Amino acid sequence: MKQIIIRSLLCLSTFIGFCWDGQAQVRDNKDQTTKADIENEPNTSKLLSISRLTLGGYGEAVASRNFYSSNPFRYMYPDSYKDDPDHGRVDLPHVVFFIGYEFGNGWRMNSEIEFEHGGTESAMEVEADEGGEYEMEVERGGEVALEQFWIEKTFTRAINLRMGHIIVPVGLTNGNHLPTQFFTVYRPEGENTIMPCTWHETGISLWGHLGKHWRYEAMLLPGLDSELFNNQNWIKGGSASPFEFKIANTYAGAFRIDNYSVKGLRLGVSGYYGHSFRNSLMPSYADKYKEVKGAVTIGSFDFEYNAHNWIARGYFDYGHLSDAKTISIFNRGLANASPSPRTYVASGALCYGTEAGYDVFSRFQKFKEKDQKLYLFARYEYYNSMYKATEGIENQDWCQRQILTGGINYFPTDEIVIKAQYSAGMLKSPFEDENSFSLGIAYSGFFTK
Protein backbone atom coordinates (compact mmCIF):
# COMPACT_ATOMS: atom_id res chain seq x y z
CA MET A 1 0.00 0.00 0.00
CA LYS A 2 2.93 2.37 0.75
CA GLN A 3 4.24 1.80 -2.78
CA ILE A 4 0.84 2.69 -4.23
CA ILE A 5 0.69 5.93 -2.23
CA ILE A 6 4.28 6.86 -3.16
CA ARG A 7 3.60 6.21 -6.84
CA SER A 8 0.38 8.24 -6.67
CA LEU A 9 2.19 11.18 -5.10
CA LEU A 10 5.01 10.98 -7.66
CA CYS A 11 2.47 11.03 -10.49
CA LEU A 12 0.66 13.98 -8.94
CA SER A 13 3.89 15.95 -8.40
CA THR A 14 4.95 15.33 -12.00
CA PHE A 15 1.54 16.40 -13.25
CA ILE A 16 1.56 19.55 -11.11
CA GLY A 17 5.02 20.46 -12.38
CA PHE A 18 3.86 20.04 -15.96
CA CYS A 19 0.85 22.29 -15.29
CA TRP A 20 2.98 25.03 -13.73
CA ASP A 21 5.53 24.97 -16.55
CA GLY A 22 2.90 25.10 -19.28
CA GLN A 23 0.90 28.05 -20.52
CA ALA A 24 -2.82 28.05 -19.66
CA GLN A 25 -4.94 28.30 -22.78
CA VAL A 26 -8.08 30.37 -22.35
CA ARG A 27 -11.01 29.58 -24.58
CA ASP A 28 -12.31 32.43 -26.72
CA ASN A 29 -15.17 30.68 -28.49
CA LYS A 30 -18.87 30.61 -27.81
CA ASP A 31 -18.58 27.59 -25.48
CA GLN A 32 -16.42 29.43 -22.94
CA THR A 33 -17.50 28.98 -19.30
CA THR A 34 -18.28 32.33 -17.70
CA LYS A 35 -17.25 33.43 -14.23
CA ALA A 36 -20.92 33.71 -13.27
CA ASP A 37 -21.44 30.05 -14.17
CA ILE A 38 -18.49 29.05 -11.98
CA GLU A 39 -19.67 31.13 -9.01
CA ASN A 40 -23.15 29.62 -9.14
CA GLU A 41 -21.90 26.07 -9.72
CA PRO A 42 -22.00 24.05 -6.47
CA ASN A 43 -19.66 21.34 -5.21
CA THR A 44 -16.05 21.18 -6.35
CA SER A 45 -16.74 22.90 -9.67
CA LYS A 46 -16.22 26.20 -7.83
CA LEU A 47 -12.51 25.41 -8.08
CA LEU A 48 -12.51 25.12 -11.88
CA SER A 49 -10.99 28.07 -13.70
CA ILE A 50 -11.72 29.09 -17.26
CA SER A 51 -8.39 27.72 -18.55
CA ARG A 52 -8.32 24.38 -20.38
CA LEU A 53 -6.28 22.55 -17.74
CA THR A 54 -6.82 23.24 -14.05
CA LEU A 55 -5.68 21.65 -10.81
CA GLY A 56 -7.39 22.34 -7.52
CA GLY A 57 -7.90 20.71 -4.19
CA TYR A 58 -8.55 20.92 -0.48
CA GLY A 59 -7.25 19.30 2.68
CA GLU A 60 -7.81 19.21 6.43
CA ALA A 61 -5.71 18.36 9.48
CA VAL A 62 -7.58 18.21 12.80
CA ALA A 63 -7.05 17.43 16.48
CA SER A 64 -9.66 16.95 19.21
CA ARG A 65 -9.81 16.42 22.94
CA ASN A 66 -13.02 14.60 23.86
CA PHE A 67 -14.25 14.98 27.44
CA TYR A 68 -16.16 11.72 27.64
CA SER A 69 -15.53 7.99 27.64
CA SER A 70 -14.20 6.28 24.53
CA ASN A 71 -15.46 2.88 25.71
CA PRO A 72 -17.75 1.26 23.11
CA PHE A 73 -20.05 0.02 25.90
CA ARG A 74 -20.90 3.55 27.08
CA TYR A 75 -24.30 3.51 25.36
CA MET A 76 -25.20 0.03 26.62
CA TYR A 77 -24.16 0.71 30.25
CA PRO A 78 -24.04 4.51 30.54
CA ASP A 79 -23.78 4.66 34.34
CA SER A 80 -20.62 2.54 34.32
CA TYR A 81 -18.52 4.90 32.21
CA LYS A 82 -19.48 8.42 33.28
CA ASP A 83 -16.25 8.87 35.25
CA ASP A 84 -13.90 7.61 32.54
CA PRO A 85 -10.98 9.88 31.58
CA ASP A 86 -11.09 12.04 28.48
CA HIS A 87 -9.26 11.07 25.29
CA GLY A 88 -7.68 12.72 22.27
CA ARG A 89 -7.62 12.07 18.53
CA VAL A 90 -5.87 13.51 15.47
CA ASP A 91 -6.86 12.92 11.87
CA LEU A 92 -6.52 13.92 8.23
CA PRO A 93 -10.20 13.64 7.26
CA HIS A 94 -9.78 14.64 3.62
CA VAL A 95 -6.89 15.51 1.33
CA VAL A 96 -8.23 15.94 -2.18
CA PHE A 97 -6.85 16.80 -5.62
CA PHE A 98 -9.03 17.92 -8.53
CA ILE A 99 -8.05 17.66 -12.17
CA GLY A 100 -10.24 19.43 -14.72
CA TYR A 101 -9.88 19.84 -18.47
CA GLU A 102 -11.82 21.81 -21.08
CA PHE A 103 -11.85 19.89 -24.38
CA GLY A 104 -13.68 22.63 -26.32
CA ASN A 105 -16.97 22.61 -28.21
CA GLY A 106 -18.80 22.52 -24.87
CA TRP A 107 -17.10 19.37 -23.51
CA ARG A 108 -15.23 19.22 -20.22
CA MET A 109 -14.01 16.67 -17.68
CA ASN A 110 -13.48 16.76 -13.93
CA SER A 111 -12.04 14.16 -11.57
CA GLU A 112 -11.30 13.99 -7.85
CA ILE A 113 -8.64 11.89 -6.15
CA GLU A 114 -9.17 11.67 -2.41
CA PHE A 115 -6.92 10.52 0.43
CA GLU A 116 -9.14 9.90 3.47
CA HIS A 117 -7.94 9.54 7.06
CA GLY A 118 -4.27 9.43 6.13
CA GLY A 119 -4.69 7.12 3.16
CA THR A 120 -4.72 3.69 4.81
CA GLU A 121 -6.37 0.99 2.76
CA SER A 122 -8.90 -0.17 5.33
CA ALA A 123 -9.98 0.69 8.85
CA MET A 124 -11.30 -1.16 11.87
CA GLU A 125 -14.12 0.33 13.89
CA VAL A 126 -15.71 -0.63 17.17
CA GLU A 127 -19.49 -1.03 16.99
CA ALA A 128 -21.10 0.43 20.10
CA ASP A 129 -24.42 -1.25 19.33
CA GLU A 130 -22.72 -4.64 18.85
CA GLY A 131 -21.19 -4.80 22.32
CA GLY A 132 -17.80 -3.43 21.34
CA GLU A 133 -17.26 -5.90 18.52
CA TYR A 134 -14.46 -5.03 16.10
CA GLU A 135 -15.58 -4.80 12.48
CA MET A 136 -13.94 -3.81 9.20
CA GLU A 137 -15.35 -0.52 7.94
CA VAL A 138 -17.28 -1.01 4.69
CA GLU A 139 -17.37 2.53 3.38
CA ARG A 140 -14.19 4.11 2.06
CA GLY A 141 -12.75 4.98 5.45
CA GLY A 142 -9.02 5.42 5.02
CA GLU A 143 -8.07 4.78 1.43
CA VAL A 144 -7.00 6.35 -1.81
CA ALA A 145 -10.03 6.60 -4.08
CA LEU A 146 -11.35 8.28 -7.19
CA GLU A 147 -14.32 10.07 -5.66
CA GLN A 148 -15.48 11.95 -8.76
CA PHE A 149 -15.11 11.44 -12.45
CA TRP A 150 -17.52 12.97 -14.93
CA ILE A 151 -17.68 14.26 -18.47
CA GLU A 152 -20.05 17.10 -19.28
CA LYS A 153 -21.56 18.59 -22.41
CA THR A 154 -22.80 22.19 -22.32
CA PHE A 155 -25.54 22.92 -24.84
CA THR A 156 -26.66 26.26 -23.43
CA ARG A 157 -26.42 28.01 -20.08
CA ALA A 158 -29.73 26.36 -19.22
CA ILE A 159 -28.89 22.84 -20.42
CA ASN A 160 -25.82 20.91 -19.28
CA LEU A 161 -25.58 17.11 -19.33
CA ARG A 162 -23.15 15.51 -16.87
CA MET A 163 -22.34 11.78 -16.98
CA GLY A 164 -20.13 9.75 -14.65
CA HIS A 165 -19.44 9.67 -10.92
CA ILE A 166 -21.23 12.74 -9.55
CA ILE A 167 -22.04 14.36 -6.20
CA VAL A 168 -25.70 13.82 -5.29
CA PRO A 169 -27.24 17.32 -4.85
CA VAL A 170 -29.24 16.63 -1.66
CA GLY A 171 -28.87 18.67 1.52
CA LEU A 172 -26.57 21.55 2.40
CA THR A 173 -23.29 19.79 3.12
CA ASN A 174 -23.02 17.68 -0.03
CA GLY A 175 -22.97 20.82 -2.14
CA ASN A 176 -20.81 22.78 0.32
CA HIS A 177 -18.33 20.25 1.67
CA LEU A 178 -15.10 22.21 1.18
CA PRO A 179 -13.55 23.10 4.58
CA THR A 180 -13.80 26.82 3.78
CA GLN A 181 -17.57 26.43 3.34
CA PHE A 182 -18.50 25.62 6.96
CA PHE A 183 -17.30 27.01 10.28
CA THR A 184 -16.88 23.84 12.33
CA VAL A 185 -13.63 21.87 12.41
CA TYR A 186 -15.46 18.78 11.18
CA ARG A 187 -18.25 18.63 8.64
CA PRO A 188 -21.69 19.43 10.12
CA GLU A 189 -22.54 16.44 12.26
CA GLY A 190 -26.25 16.06 11.52
CA GLU A 191 -26.15 15.55 7.76
CA ASN A 192 -22.85 13.73 8.08
CA THR A 193 -24.57 11.23 10.39
CA ILE A 194 -27.85 10.29 8.71
CA MET A 195 -26.91 10.74 5.02
CA PRO A 196 -23.90 9.85 2.89
CA CYS A 197 -21.49 12.78 3.01
CA THR A 198 -20.00 13.47 0.62
CA TRP A 199 -22.64 11.51 -1.31
CA HIS A 200 -21.38 10.55 -4.77
CA GLU A 201 -22.82 8.04 -7.23
CA THR A 202 -22.36 7.03 -10.84
CA GLY A 203 -25.27 8.46 -12.80
CA ILE A 204 -26.55 11.11 -15.18
CA SER A 205 -27.27 14.71 -14.20
CA LEU A 206 -29.05 17.50 -16.04
CA TRP A 207 -28.48 21.01 -14.70
CA GLY A 208 -28.57 24.63 -15.73
CA HIS A 209 -29.40 28.24 -14.96
CA LEU A 210 -32.86 29.65 -15.68
CA GLY A 211 -32.84 33.41 -15.95
CA LYS A 212 -30.72 35.41 -13.55
CA HIS A 213 -31.86 33.91 -10.28
CA TRP A 214 -32.56 30.20 -10.65
CA ARG A 215 -30.46 27.07 -10.87
CA TYR A 216 -31.80 23.51 -11.17
CA GLU A 217 -30.35 20.00 -11.17
CA ALA A 218 -31.96 16.58 -11.69
CA MET A 219 -30.07 13.29 -11.35
CA LEU A 220 -30.69 9.61 -12.11
CA LEU A 221 -28.61 7.24 -9.99
CA PRO A 222 -28.53 3.70 -8.51
CA GLY A 223 -30.64 3.05 -5.43
CA LEU A 224 -29.28 2.53 -1.92
CA ASP A 225 -28.72 -0.90 -0.35
CA SER A 226 -31.04 -1.45 2.62
CA GLU A 227 -28.83 -4.24 3.98
CA LEU A 228 -26.27 -1.56 4.91
CA PHE A 229 -28.69 0.68 6.84
CA ASN A 230 -28.32 0.89 10.62
CA ASN A 231 -29.58 2.59 13.76
CA GLN A 232 -26.72 5.04 14.30
CA ASN A 233 -26.42 6.36 10.73
CA TRP A 234 -29.84 5.58 9.21
CA ILE A 235 -29.38 5.19 5.41
CA LYS A 236 -25.82 6.58 5.23
CA GLY A 237 -24.13 3.20 4.75
CA GLY A 238 -26.46 2.30 1.89
CA SER A 239 -24.40 4.24 -0.64
CA ALA A 240 -21.30 2.14 0.03
CA SER A 241 -20.38 -1.08 -1.72
CA PRO A 242 -18.23 -3.87 -0.24
CA PHE A 243 -17.55 -5.09 -3.78
CA GLU A 244 -15.47 -3.77 -6.68
CA PHE A 245 -18.68 -2.57 -8.32
CA LYS A 246 -21.91 -0.90 -7.22
CA ILE A 247 -25.13 -2.92 -7.24
CA ALA A 248 -27.78 -1.24 -9.42
CA ASN A 249 -30.84 -3.51 -9.28
CA THR A 250 -32.96 -0.47 -8.42
CA TYR A 251 -32.72 3.18 -9.42
CA ALA A 252 -33.42 6.51 -7.76
CA GLY A 253 -33.88 10.16 -8.57
CA ALA A 254 -32.57 13.33 -6.91
CA PHE A 255 -33.19 17.01 -7.57
CA ARG A 256 -32.16 20.44 -6.41
CA ILE A 257 -33.47 23.98 -7.02
CA ASP A 258 -31.65 27.12 -5.86
CA ASN A 259 -32.78 30.74 -5.93
CA TYR A 260 -30.49 33.81 -5.87
CA SER A 261 -33.08 36.62 -6.11
CA VAL A 262 -31.83 38.46 -3.01
CA LYS A 263 -28.24 39.67 -3.19
CA GLY A 264 -26.04 37.61 -0.90
CA LEU A 265 -28.78 35.06 -0.18
CA ARG A 266 -29.23 31.58 -1.61
CA LEU A 267 -32.33 29.51 -0.88
CA GLY A 268 -32.41 25.85 -1.85
CA VAL A 269 -34.72 22.84 -1.80
CA SER A 270 -33.66 19.32 -2.67
CA GLY A 271 -34.97 15.79 -2.51
CA TYR A 272 -34.39 12.10 -3.16
CA TYR A 273 -36.60 9.07 -3.86
CA GLY A 274 -35.64 5.47 -4.58
CA HIS A 275 -36.21 1.83 -3.60
CA SER A 276 -33.52 0.11 -1.51
CA PHE A 277 -34.72 -3.46 -0.83
CA ARG A 278 -33.23 -6.15 -3.11
CA ASN A 279 -30.48 -3.76 -4.19
CA SER A 280 -27.85 -6.22 -2.96
CA LEU A 281 -25.69 -8.97 -4.43
CA MET A 282 -27.98 -11.78 -3.30
CA PRO A 283 -31.49 -10.26 -3.02
CA SER A 284 -34.38 -12.20 -1.56
CA TYR A 285 -37.35 -12.90 -3.83
CA ALA A 286 -39.33 -14.92 -1.28
CA ASP A 287 -43.09 -14.44 -1.46
CA LYS A 288 -43.26 -12.78 1.96
CA TYR A 289 -41.01 -9.98 0.67
CA LYS A 290 -42.84 -9.56 -2.62
CA GLU A 291 -44.37 -6.20 -1.67
CA VAL A 292 -41.36 -4.85 0.23
CA LYS A 293 -39.83 -1.81 -1.49
CA GLY A 294 -37.76 -0.05 1.14
CA ALA A 295 -38.59 3.31 -0.44
CA VAL A 296 -36.27 6.07 0.79
CA THR A 297 -37.69 9.60 0.62
CA ILE A 298 -35.66 12.65 1.67
CA GLY A 299 -36.76 16.27 1.66
CA SER A 300 -34.39 19.13 2.44
CA PHE A 301 -34.38 22.92 2.73
CA ASP A 302 -31.21 24.97 3.15
CA PHE A 303 -29.97 28.54 2.88
CA GLU A 304 -26.80 30.60 2.92
CA TYR A 305 -26.41 34.34 3.51
CA ASN A 306 -23.10 36.10 2.87
CA ALA A 307 -23.19 39.89 3.07
CA HIS A 308 -22.35 42.84 5.35
CA ASN A 309 -19.51 40.84 6.98
CA TRP A 310 -21.93 38.15 8.12
CA ILE A 311 -22.16 34.54 6.98
CA ALA A 312 -25.16 32.47 8.04
CA ARG A 313 -26.19 28.99 6.95
CA GLY A 314 -28.92 26.58 7.89
CA TYR A 315 -30.71 23.41 6.85
CA PHE A 316 -33.64 21.14 7.67
CA ASP A 317 -33.70 17.50 6.49
CA TYR A 318 -36.34 14.84 7.00
CA GLY A 319 -36.18 11.30 5.68
CA HIS A 320 -38.62 8.39 5.58
CA LEU A 321 -38.01 4.68 4.97
CA SER A 322 -40.95 2.44 4.10
CA ASP A 323 -41.01 -1.18 5.33
CA ALA A 324 -38.50 -0.27 8.05
CA LYS A 325 -39.69 -2.99 10.43
CA THR A 326 -39.44 -5.72 7.80
CA ILE A 327 -35.99 -4.51 6.72
CA SER A 328 -34.82 -4.39 10.36
CA ILE A 329 -35.89 -7.98 11.00
CA PHE A 330 -34.45 -9.12 7.66
CA ASN A 331 -31.08 -7.48 8.35
CA ARG A 332 -30.91 -8.89 11.88
CA GLY A 333 -31.22 -12.36 10.38
CA LEU A 334 -28.35 -12.01 7.92
CA ALA A 335 -25.22 -14.11 8.36
CA ASN A 336 -22.41 -12.84 10.59
CA ALA A 337 -20.12 -12.71 7.57
CA SER A 338 -22.50 -10.32 5.80
CA PRO A 339 -21.30 -6.72 5.37
CA SER A 340 -24.58 -5.62 6.96
CA PRO A 341 -24.37 -3.99 10.43
CA ARG A 342 -27.40 -6.21 11.28
CA THR A 343 -29.09 -3.57 13.45
CA TYR A 344 -32.54 -2.01 13.52
CA VAL A 345 -33.28 0.97 11.31
CA ALA A 346 -35.86 3.72 11.84
CA SER A 347 -38.72 4.60 9.54
CA GLY A 348 -37.90 8.29 10.03
CA ALA A 349 -34.76 10.38 10.59
CA LEU A 350 -34.45 14.10 11.24
CA CYS A 351 -31.71 16.70 11.42
CA TYR A 352 -31.57 20.49 11.37
CA GLY A 353 -29.06 23.15 12.23
CA THR A 354 -27.91 26.71 11.74
CA GLU A 355 -24.67 28.65 12.13
CA ALA A 356 -23.72 32.30 11.95
CA GLY A 357 -20.40 34.10 12.03
CA TYR A 358 -19.26 37.72 11.98
CA ASP A 359 -15.94 38.96 10.57
CA VAL A 360 -14.50 41.09 13.38
CA PHE A 361 -11.50 42.06 11.22
CA SER A 362 -13.91 44.00 9.01
CA ARG A 363 -13.77 46.70 11.71
CA PHE A 364 -10.03 47.20 11.26
CA GLN A 365 -8.60 48.80 8.12
CA LYS A 366 -5.21 47.12 8.65
CA PHE A 367 -6.68 43.64 8.26
CA LYS A 368 -9.08 44.65 5.49
CA GLU A 369 -6.16 45.87 3.37
CA LYS A 370 -4.49 42.47 3.76
CA ASP A 371 -7.79 40.71 2.98
CA GLN A 372 -7.63 38.80 6.26
CA LYS A 373 -10.76 37.67 8.08
CA LEU A 374 -11.56 36.47 11.58
CA TYR A 375 -15.04 35.04 12.10
CA LEU A 376 -16.51 34.52 15.53
CA PHE A 377 -19.24 31.92 15.09
CA ALA A 378 -21.89 29.95 16.90
CA ARG A 379 -23.74 26.86 15.73
CA TYR A 380 -26.76 24.85 16.90
CA GLU A 381 -27.59 21.41 15.57
CA TYR A 382 -30.06 18.61 16.31
CA TYR A 383 -30.21 15.16 14.79
CA ASN A 384 -31.88 11.84 15.48
CA SER A 385 -31.18 8.79 13.35
CA MET A 386 -33.96 6.90 15.18
CA TYR A 387 -36.51 9.73 15.10
CA LYS A 388 -39.37 7.36 14.26
CA ALA A 389 -38.80 3.81 15.39
CA THR A 390 -41.42 1.43 14.01
CA GLU A 391 -43.75 -0.49 16.31
CA GLY A 392 -42.03 -3.28 18.17
CA ILE A 393 -38.53 -1.87 17.63
CA GLU A 394 -36.70 -0.28 20.54
CA ASN A 395 -36.21 3.49 20.25
CA GLN A 396 -32.54 4.02 21.09
CA ASP A 397 -32.31 7.44 22.73
CA TRP A 398 -28.53 7.66 22.39
CA CYS A 399 -29.04 8.14 18.64
CA GLN A 400 -30.38 11.67 19.18
CA ARG A 401 -28.53 14.72 20.43
CA GLN A 402 -28.30 18.50 20.43
CA ILE A 403 -24.98 20.22 19.78
CA LEU A 404 -23.95 23.78 20.67
CA THR A 405 -20.66 24.96 19.19
CA GLY A 406 -18.75 28.21 19.46
CA GLY A 407 -15.41 29.14 17.97
CA ILE A 408 -13.30 31.12 15.53
CA ASN A 409 -12.23 30.86 11.88
CA TYR A 410 -9.11 32.81 10.92
CA PHE A 411 -8.48 33.32 7.20
CA PRO A 412 -4.94 34.65 6.54
CA THR A 413 -5.91 34.30 2.87
CA ASP A 414 -9.13 33.27 1.16
CA GLU A 415 -7.73 29.77 0.56
CA ILE A 416 -6.47 28.92 4.08
CA VAL A 417 -8.43 28.71 7.33
CA ILE A 418 -7.37 27.99 10.91
CA LYS A 419 -10.21 26.82 13.14
CA ALA A 420 -10.79 26.41 16.88
CA GLN A 421 -14.02 25.43 18.62
CA TYR A 422 -15.63 24.11 21.78
CA SER A 423 -18.59 21.83 21.25
CA ALA A 424 -21.20 20.71 23.78
CA GLY A 425 -23.00 17.54 22.71
CA MET A 426 -26.13 17.09 24.82
CA LEU A 427 -27.64 13.60 25.02
CA LYS A 428 -30.77 12.46 26.82
CA SER A 429 -30.43 11.06 30.32
CA PRO A 430 -28.89 8.68 31.39
CA PHE A 431 -26.27 9.08 28.67
CA GLU A 432 -23.18 11.21 29.26
CA ASP A 433 -22.88 14.50 27.40
CA GLU A 434 -20.17 14.45 24.74
CA ASN A 435 -18.20 17.70 24.94
CA SER A 436 -15.01 18.39 23.02
CA PHE A 437 -12.38 20.96 22.05
CA SER A 438 -11.04 20.86 18.49
CA LEU A 439 -8.42 22.57 16.35
CA GLY A 440 -8.02 22.41 12.60
CA ILE A 441 -6.19 23.86 9.64
CA ALA A 442 -7.42 23.55 6.07
CA TYR A 443 -6.98 24.86 2.56
CA SER A 444 -9.14 25.01 -0.54
CA GLY A 445 -7.95 26.50 -3.80
CA PHE A 446 -6.22 26.31 -7.18
CA PHE A 447 -2.81 25.01 -8.09
CA THR A 448 -2.48 27.30 -11.10
CA LYS A 449 0.26 29.73 -11.95
What CATH number should be reported for the domain holding residue 51? 2.40.160.10
pLDDT in tens, 323-374: 999 999 999 999 888 889 999 999 999 999 999 999 999 999 999 999 999 9
* Residue 222 forms part of a structural domain: yes
Q: 156 burial class (0-12, 13-18, 19+ CB within 10 angstroms)?
A: exposed
pLDDT in tens, 410-427: 999 999 999 999 999 999
* Residue 15 forms part of a structural domain: no
Per the CB < 8 A criterion, the answer to whether 112 and 146 are in contact is: yes
At 279, the pLDDT band (50, 70, 90 cuts) reads: very high
pLDDT at 211 over 80: yes
* Residue 6 forms part of a structural domain: no
pLDDT in tens, 133-186: 656 655 544 677 788 999 999 999 999 999 999 999 999 999 999 999 999 999
Q: What does DSSP say about strands 400-413 and 133-136: parallel, antiparallel, or unpaired? A: unpaired
Total domains in the fold of the chain: 1
* Residue 56 forms part of a structural domain: yes
Q: What is the mean pLDDT of residues 240-269?
A: 95
The rounded distance, in Å, linking the Cα atoms of 280 and 329 is: 16
At 219, the pLDDT band (50, 70, 90 cuts) reads: very high
User: What dihedral do alpha carbons 410, 434, 181, 179 form, nearest 10°?
Assistant: 70
Q: What is the DSSP string of 301-318?
A: EEEEEEETTEEEEEEEEE
pLDDT at residue 7, rounded to an integer: 47
* Residue 12 forms part of a structural domain: no
Cis (ω within 30 of 0) for the bond into 448?
Answer: no
Per the CB < 8 A criterion, the answer to whether 30 and 396 are in contact is: no
Q: For residue 289, which of 322, 320, 319, 337 has the smallest C-alpha distance?
A: 322
The rounded distance, in Å, linking the Cα atoms of 370 and 313 is: 26
pLDDT at residue 305, rounded to an integer: 98
Which alpha helices (DSSP H) does 269-428 contain, by range? 324-332, 365-369
The rounded distance, in Å, linking the Cα atoms of 315 and 189 is: 12
Q: What is the mean pLDDT of residues 298-316?
A: 98
Return the bridge partners of 302, or none. Answer: 268, 315
pLDDT at 272 over 60: yes
CA atoms within 13 A on the CB side of 199: 27
CA atoms within 13 A on the CB side of 15: 15
Q: What is the mean pLDDT of residues 200-209?
A: 97
Name the CA radius of gyration of the chain, rounded.
Answer: 22
Per the CB < 8 A criterion, the answer to whether 349 and 384 are in contact is: yes
* Residue 17 forms part of a structural domain: no
Q: What is the pTM of this model?
A: 0.84
pLDDT in tens, 49-105: 457 898 999 999 999 999 999 998 999 899 999 989 999 999 999 999 999 999 999
Amino acid residing at 80 = S
36 is in which domain, residue-wise?
27-446
The rounded distance, in Å, linking the Cα atoms of 40 and 213 is: 10
Q: Residue 429's CB: how many other CB atoms inside 10 A?
A: 8
